[in-house]
């Protein structure tokens, strides 16, 4: 591109004169005083005047680039400040995180120690649990053996009560206690034993009730009354309270009255008895003592027969006691009548009861106990 010619106006170029004819009557226009440009502005103007469009474009580009560089530099400074701020915050956070990491490490170590302690305690508890389970098994087996031994003992007591004294009530109580003991164990394997025991309990319940204590009490009363029974030779004739009054006879003279009184007195002097009756000899005090003691022994024998449910011996002893009372004691006295009445009532009492056999329950419990002991070993 060719340079355009610089057209500069020189301050020495003459201005065209104004025509006076154009404004003849006009007053001259005052001109403003000219201001001399400063050297600096004039040099800048001259410099700008000498620049071309490309140079101006380049200058503009440079200005834009410079402005962008300055703006980028300003942004970088702000980013650096922000980054420094963030780094400071991160440094603080890093220190805090380091402290937290240290605390977490310490907590982890403490937790590790606690976990180790818990593992040790858990191992100890497991060993203790195994020992307790073994002990429980031993105690359970021993408890079952003890319970079975107690049940067997109760059944033996019930059998003894039936065999020795035929005490149905005591035997029934013992068997019910044995069944309750098995019930508290709550073992299905013991249901067979409970079934056998309950069957024997039902057999005892249907037996007729015999008032053994009442009969025994009557015998005790008889034994205590033997010392008060009067002997047969202790009978005395009834004392006459006074002479009977004679009925007055009319037209009776003195001789007839005397004869009648003599006859009345003579009738009291004579007594007629049957001499064919065997008279007992008089007993000495020692013989009387042994007679009463023998009667007591006979009644005691009847009581033993009652407790053992021996009805034949019981009736025989009571029959013998009745004969002794009739022969050696005064049966017409109040005490004799009471003793004979009590003996007769006791003699007609039935004490013979067919007792059931409960040995099956005893053998079942004993067999189960032995098998349980063998299984435990």
Query: Model confidence over 226-259: pLDDT tens digits?
Result: 888 888 776 544 444 444 555 555 667 788 888 8
Query: Is 95 within the bounds of a domain?
Result: no
Query: Is 348 within the bounds of a domain?
Result: yes
Determine phi and psi for 277, rounding to 5 degrees: -75, 135
pLDDT of residue 358: 84
Tokens in use for 181? 């003991």
Selection from 319, 340, 336, 341 nearest residue 235 by Cα: 336
Query: Is 327 within the bounds of a domain?
Result: yes
- Secondary structure E strands in the chain: none
| Mean residue pLDDT across the chain | 77
- Structural domain harbouring 228: 210-233+284-352
Total-model pTM: 0.43
Q: For residue 21, is pLDDT > 60?
A: no
Report the pLDDT averaged over residues 342-360. Answer: 82
pLDDT of residue 294: 93
pLDDT of residue 238: 43
pLDDT of residue 6: 43
d(CA 107, CA 103) in angstroms, rounded, equals 6
d(CA 222, CA 347) in angstroms, rounded, equals 13
Query: Is 330 within the bounds of a domain?
Result: yes
d(CA 85, CA 91) in angstroms, rounded, equals 10
pLDDT band at 206; cut points 50, 70, 90: confident
- Secondary structure E strands in 198-291: none
* Percent of the chain with pLDDT strictly greater than 70: 75
Domain total in the chain: 1
Q: Is 158 helix (H, G, I), strand (E, B) or coil?
A: helix
Q: For residue 26, is pLDDT > 80?
A: no
Evaluate whether 358 touches 158 at the Cβ level (below 8 Å): yes
Evaluate whether 232 touches 332 at the Cβ level (below 8 Å): no
Residue whose token pair is 């050696």? 328
d(CA 335, CA 226) in angstroms, rounded, equals 9
d(CA 49, CA 295) in angstroms, rounded, equals 179
pLDDT band at 3; cut points 50, 70, 90: very low
pLDDT band at 321; cut points 50, 70, 90: very high
pLDDT of residue 281: 63
- DSSP state, 189? G
Residue 343 CB neighbours (<10 A): 23
Q: For residue 65, is pLDDT > 90?
A: no
Q: For residue 27, is pLDDT > 80?
A: no
Query: Is 292 within the bounds of a domain?
Result: yes
The dihedral through the CA atoms of 118, 120, 121, 122 has a sign that is: positive
What is the C-alpha R_g of the chain? 74
Evaluate whether 231 touches 330 at the Cβ level (below 8 Å): yes
Query: Is 365 within the bounds of a domain?
Result: no
Express each pLDDT in 276-317 by its tens digit: 555 566 778 888 899 899 999 999 999 888 877 788 888 899
pLDDT of residue 376: 63
Evaluate whether 291 touches 233 at the Cβ level (below 8 Å): no
Query: Is 335 within the bounds of a domain?
Result: yes
pLDDT band at 95; cut points 50, 70, 90: confident
pLDDT of residue 1: 39
d(CA 314, CA 281) in angstroms, rounded, equals 30
Determine phi and psi for 282, rounding to 5 degrees: -65, 135
pLDDT of residue 366: 84
* Percent of the chain with pLDDT strictly greater than 90: 5
Q: For residue 50, is pLDDT > 60?
A: yes
Query: Is 16 within the bounds of a domain?
Result: no
Evaluate whether 345 touches 258 at the Cβ level (below 8 Å): no
As beta bridge partners, residue 231 has 329
For the ranges 33-42, 137-146, 234-243, 289-298, the lowest mean pLDDT is seen at 234-243
Residue whose token pair is 């030779």? 233
Percentages helix, strand, coil for the chain (3-state, rounded to 5) are: 70, 0, 30
d(CA 138, CA 149) in angstroms, rounded, equals 16
């Amino acid at each position: 591109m060719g340079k355009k010619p610089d057209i500069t106006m020189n301050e020495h170029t003459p201005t065209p004169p104004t025509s006076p004819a154009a404004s003849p009557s006009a007053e001259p226009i005052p001109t403003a005083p000219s201001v001399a440009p400063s050297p600096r502005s004039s040099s800048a103007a001259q410099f700008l005047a000498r620049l071309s469009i490309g140079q101006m474009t380049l200058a503009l580009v440079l200005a834009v680039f410079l402005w962008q560089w300055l703006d980028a530099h300003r942004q970088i400074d702000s980013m650096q400040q922000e980054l420094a701020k963030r780094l400071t915050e991160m440094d603080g956070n890093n220190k805090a995180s380091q402290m937290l990491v240290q605390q977490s490490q310490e907590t982890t170590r403490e937790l590790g120690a606690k976990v180790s302690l818990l593992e040790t305690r858990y191992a100890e508890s497991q060993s203790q649990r195994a020992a307790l389970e073994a002990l429980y098994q031993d105690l359970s087996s021993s408890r079952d053996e003890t319970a079975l031994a107690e049940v067997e003992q109760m059944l033996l007591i019930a059998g003894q009560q039936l065999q020795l004294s035929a005490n149905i009530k005591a035997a029934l109580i013992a068997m019910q206690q044995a069944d309750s003991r098995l019930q508290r164990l709550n073992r299905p394997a013991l249901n067979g034993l409970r079934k056998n025991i309950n069957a024997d309990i039902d057999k005892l319940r249907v037996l007729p009730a015999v008032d053994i204590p009442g009969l025994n009490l009557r015998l005790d009363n008889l034994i205590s009354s033997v010392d008060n029974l009067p002997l047969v030779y202790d009978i005395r004739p009834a004392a006459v309270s006074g002479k009977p009054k004679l009925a007055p006879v009319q037209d009776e003279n003195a001789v007839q009255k005397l004869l009648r009184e003599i006859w009345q007195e003579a009738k009291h002097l004579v007594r007629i008895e049957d001499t064919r009756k065997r008279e007992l000899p008089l007993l000495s005090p020692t013989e009387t003592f042994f007679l009463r003691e023998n009667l007591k022994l006979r009644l005691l024998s009847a009581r033993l027969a009652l407790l053992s449910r021996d009805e034949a011996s019981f009736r025989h002893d009571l029959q013998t006691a009745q004969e002794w009372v009739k022969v050696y004691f005064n049966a017409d006295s109040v005490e004799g009548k009471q003793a004979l009445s009590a003996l007769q009532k006791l003699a007609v009492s039935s004490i013979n009861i067919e007792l059931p056999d409960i040995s099956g329950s005893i053998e079942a419990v004993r067999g189960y106990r032995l098998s349980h002991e063998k299984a435990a070993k």
